[in-house]
Structure 1
């Protein structure tokens, strides 16, 4: 698993509010370009969001499903981008005073991406998730 962290100038509840709004997913997840549908139960276990990745007109429709949800603390997802594969993603929120240390652990778990050696794919995942956390911070810090 590739680990990426950022200290966000917002409380865990404020960061969680962004994660719990499935319609905001393409605003903070690098690669997601639009939302098509969000299950009413999001982000409870088993709930799905239906998103697209890429840029118009080359969009691929796919889903992300919640594998585990500990409200305000942890969200474990399986993010799909077929035909490229699936990723296991865990976001953890740890209080740090009036801030939040957000950790993303991610790795490819299915599809052609698994044949890319970990030393090659890990820096790419870390680069992507550094930007993802920057976007998440912008949203959480400005909702205060």
Structure 2
């Protein structure tokens, strides 16, 4: 897995609240352009966010599926992007204190064309992309009003 991490000055619960809102997916996932639908129960295992990936008019209509979930700790997703393939994304939240959390984001191609690209070629681009993704998660967790649970 290609992995990045970020330490965020807030509780894991606030970060997970961002991840648990399927409608916010396009706000934090770099490349997601539009959310078409979110399955009831997101982020329960097997639920999906239906989204567009890429710029108009070249976008791809696809989905992201929850593989594993532990509230306030783990969200593992299979993200589909048409012929580009499927990536497995694992977001792990590690509380450092009551007010600080380390987020780890791991990414691995599991199907499609991306699987055949050399990791050395993918790694620099994905590290930058995924670091920006974590920066967006932090912004949402720190500055957005979150709904009551």
**TM-score strictly above 0.5:** yes
**Aligned to 1:46, what secondary structure does the other structure show?**
coil
- Structure having the higher strand fraction is 1
Q: How many residues align?
A: 144
- After TM superposition, the runs of 4+ consecutive aligned structure 1 residues lying more than 2 A away are none
Name the TM-score, length of structure 2 as normaliser: 0.94
Cα distance in 1 for partners of 2:78, 2:131 equals: 19
Q: For residue 72 of structure 1, what is the aligned residue in structure 2?
A: 72
CA-based RMSD of the aligned residues comes to: 0.9
Q: For residue 144 of structure 2, what is the aligned residue in structure 1?
A: 143
- Structure 1 unaligned runs (5+)? none
Cα distance in 2 for partners of 1:43, 1:59 equals: 24
Say whether the 8 Å CA contact 1:14–1:143 is kept in structure 2.
Answer: no
- Structure 2 unaligned runs (5+)? none
Say whether the 8 Å CA contact 1:87–1:110 is kept in structure 2.
Answer: yes
Tell me by how many angstroms 1:143 deviates: 2.9
**Aligned to 1:83, what secondary structure does the other structure show?**
helix
**Aligned to 1:23, what secondary structure does the other structure show?**
helix
Say whether the 8 Å CA contact 1:68–1:76 is kept in structure 2.
Answer: yes
Name the TM-score, length of structure 1 as normaliser: 0.97
Q: For residue 114 of structure 1, what is the aligned residue in structure 2?
A: 115
Q: For residue 56 of structure 1, what is the aligned residue in structure 2?
A: 56
